[in-house]
Structure 1
Amino acid sequence: MGDANAKEAVLLIHGFGANTSHWRFNQPVLAKQAPTYAINLLGFGHSDQPRARLKDEAITADAVHYGFDLWGHQVADFCDAVVQRPVLLVGNSIGGVVALRAAQLLGEHCRGVVLIDCAQRLMDDKQLVTQPAWMTWIRPLLKTMVRQRWLSTGLFHNAARPGVIRSVLKQAYPSGANINDDLVNLLFQPTQRPGAAEAFRGFINLFDDYLAPQLMEELSIPVDLIWGEQDPWEPIAEAKRWAQTLNCVQSLSVIHNAGHCPHDEAPGEVNPVLQRLINTRLTQQAT
Structure 2
Amino acid sequence: MIINESSSSTEQQPSTQFWQWRGYSIAYQTAGTSGTPVLLIHGLGASCLHWRKNIGILAEQHRVYAIDLIGFGASAKPKPGEAIDYRFETWGAQINDFCGEVIGEGAHLVGNSIGCLVALQAAVNQPEQVKSLALLDCALRLQHERKLKGFRRITFPYVQKLLTYPPIGHFFFSKLAQPQVIRKALLKAYSRQEAVTDELVDILLKPAQDEGAADVFLSFITNSTGPLPEDLLPQISVPVLLAWGKNDPWEPFEQGKALAEFPAVKQFVPLEDIGHCPQDEAPEIINPLLNDWFTQ
TM-superposed CA distance for 1:140, in Å, is 2.5
Residues in 2 aligned to 1:98 and 1:194: alpha-carbon distance in whole angstroms: 24
Quote the residue 2:48 is aligned against: 20
Does residue 253 of the first structure (1) align with residue 281 of the second (2)? no
TM-superposed CA distance for 1:278, in Å, is 1.4
- Runs of 4+ aligned structure 1 residues displaced above 6 Å come to none
Kept in 2: contact 1:96–1:119 (CA 8 A): yes
Kept in 1: contact 2:145–2:225 (CA 8 A): yes
Greater mean alpha carbon deviation, residues 197-206 or residues 225-234? 197-206
Quote the residue 1:56 is aligned against: none
Quote the residue 1:161 is aligned against: 178
TM-score w.r.t. length of structure 2: 0.87
Residues in 1 aligned to 2:205 and 2:272: alpha-carbon distance in whole angstroms: 28
Does residue 226 of the first structure (1) align with residue 226 of the second (2)? no
Quote the residue 1:267 is aligned against: 283
Residues in 2 aligned to 1:147 and 1:84: alpha-carbon distance in whole angstroms: 39
Matches within 5 A, 1:103-182: 103-128=123-148, 131=149, 133-182=150-199
Q: Using CA pairs below 8 Å that are at least 6 residues apart, which structure has the higher relative contact order?
A: 1
Residues in 1 aligned to 2:293 and 2:124: alpha-carbon distance in whole angstroms: 20
Structure 2 residue aligned with 1:81, among 96, 101, 124?
101
TM-superposed CA distance for 1:40, in Å, is 0.3
Partner amino acid, structure 1, of 2:118: V
Q: 1:33 to 1:3 in 2, by over 3 A?
A: same
Quote the residue 1:212 is aligned against: 229
TM-superposed CA distance for 1:250, in Å, is 0.5
Does residue 44 of the first structure (1) align with residue 72 of the second (2)? yes
Quote the residue 1:71 is aligned against: 91
TM-superposed CA distance for 1:177, in Å, is 3.0
TM-score w.r.t. length of structure 1: 0.90
Quote the residue 1:93 is aligned against: 113
SS at match of 1:177: helix
Unmatched segments (≥5 aa) in structure 2: 1-29
Residues in 1 aligned to 2:116 and 2:204: alpha-carbon distance in whole angstroms: 19
Residues in 2 aligned to 1:2 and 1:187: alpha-carbon distance in whole angstroms: 22
